Structure 1
Amino acid sequence: MTSTPRKQPAVTVIDPTLEYEQTLFDAGAPVVIGCDEVGRGAVAGPVAVGMAVIDSECREIPLGLRDSKLLSEKKRVALAPVVSAWVLHSAVGLAGPEEVDEIGIIKALGLAGKRALAILHAQGVEVASSVLVLDGNHDYLSPALRHPLDVRTRVKGDRDCASVSAASVIAKVHRDTLMITAHERFPRYGWQGNKGYGSVEHMSAIRELGPCAFHRRTWLTEHVG
């Protein structure tokens, strides 16, 4: 007797909205800065924090905008310039692999976020009066700042909040582009495909060749036997 294969449940895709951001505008926020991190779990390359600035006039959400993890690479690349044109300002801050090794991933995220804020400030964004919506339930940004800002954590913010979805797409494409460029220097690690994450191909290459300067050395002791 043959068993009938179980039908996999359909994945529900939720389009982000501006509902949460609108509550912040209604409460007096002049602008909202959506924030999301990329590359946290990679074993090579920088960690990136993307930020996307919107105001109450940014109403027409770009068609197809979603959390970057729910988009194919081709769709992300096509969507990134559309998203960048929709938001008022955007920035991506980076913390390199050597900084991740030196201070740890949480402080490195804070450092990358601080650098993104400095870019926005240079673009003329009134950061001090903004409300920042940070994906997740942990505020890694505030401890890195000299002056306190209004940071709101939001679980599933990258899925539900259009400003955070925008930040996730911008940061992901930015970091992926850096890893593809690095692949040209270190092609044996397969970064063009794995973007520095611990794929079978990548980990096998590390065992064969050893790590390079773009690897997070402290992470490899846990992943490479």
Structure 2
Amino acid sequence: MIEPTLEVETGLWDARPLVIGMDEVGRGALAGPVSVGAFALARCDEVPAGLRDSKLMTAKARERTAPVVREWGVAAVGHASAAEIDAVGIMAALAIAGRRALEALHLAGVDVVGSAVLLDGSHDWLSSRLRRPLAITTRPKADRDCGSVAGAACVAKVERDALMVAHDEDHPGYGWASNKGYAAAVHMEGIATLGPTRLHRRTWLKSDGAVRASAAA
């Protein structure tokens, strides 16, 4: 299994004192928010033991590792609701969630403007909703290869999963405690039987509850 390193961050630290790794979770779900983790990290030498690409970690491993990540640097998570996704689209909603995560870091005392921002992926999905430009670097598979981005994803995944488990108690019948809002069979059956809730991305559903082709892209 590939372990994240700090090789990319080390190059960025040569120019700026902090690197803010950022990654999104929940992008492909049918219900719940899209969430973005932002993790500010000062120069260091080691990645916490057990931290990996969040998609390759078990739920228990993520829950065990997230508090360690929060002690390693400064973490924040921003969310954009299903209603916001329906109103502006998923890419703009990603940027909104990312801006909220950065605003939370700012309130925690992080010099966001003076930091290097490292985004997972090949596209800058963040800048469109920022009030001022930031020093952004994009990198495909940064959630796998870069410790700061892996940390951001782990914290965001744990926080979003906890939200969906709590929502499952308010909206039983969709299986969110297990599927976290993704298109599992029990979730699709719940939509067909009970209809969508206020937490569903309505533009991603047809009138019969089937997933639109664009939602899975």
Q: Tell me, yes or no, whether TM beats 0.5.
A: yes
Please tell me whether the aligned partners of residues 69 and 151 of structure 2 are also in contact (alpha carbons under 8 angstroms): yes
Aligned-partner Cα distance in 2 for 1:75–1:127:
29
Number of residue-to-residue matches in the alignment: 210
Please tell me whether the aligned partners of residues 196 and 202 of structure 2 are also in contact (alpha carbons under 8 angstroms): yes
Q: Which moved more, 1:77-86 or 1:160-169?
A: 77-86
Letter paired with 2:37: G
The one-character-per-residue Cα deviations of 1:57-81 (angstroms, maximum 9, x if unpaired) are x323110100110000111111110
Question: In the TM superposition, what are the counterparts of 1:1-225 in structure 2 within 5 Å?
Answer: 13-26=1-14, 28-56=15-43, 58-87=44-73, 89-221=74-206, 224=210
2:36 aligned counterpart, secondary structure = strand
Please tell me whether the aligned partners of residues 31 and 200 of structure 2 are also in contact (alpha carbons under 8 angstroms): yes
Which has the higher Rg, Structure 1 or Structure 2? 1
Please tell me whether the aligned partners of residues 6 and 46 of structure 2 are also in contact (alpha carbons under 8 angstroms): no
Gaps of 5+ in 1: 1-12
2:39 aligned counterpart, secondary structure = strand
1:218 aligned counterpart, secondary structure = helix
What's the CA shift for 1:29?
1.1
What's the CA shift for 1:220?
1.1
Aligned-partner Cα distance in 2 for 1:145–1:83:
26
TM-score by length of 2: 0.95
Letter paired with 1:62: P
Aligned-partner Cα distance in 1 for 2:103–2:80:
14
The one-character-per-residue Cα deviations of 1:122-165 (angstroms, maximum 9, x if unpaired) are 11111111110000011110111111001111100000000000
Which residue does the alignment assign to 1:4?
A: none
Aligned-partner Cα distance in 1 for 2:203–2:124:
23
TM-score by length of 1: 0.91
Q: Which moved more, 1:33-42 or 1:120-129?
A: 120-129
2:113 aligned counterpart, secondary structure = helix
Report the RMSD for the aligned CA atoms in angstroms.
1.1
Aligned-partner Cα distance in 2 for 1:219–1:145:
26
Aligned-partner Cα distance in 2 for 1:221–1:95:
22
Aligned-partner Cα distance in 1 for 2:206–2:177:
23
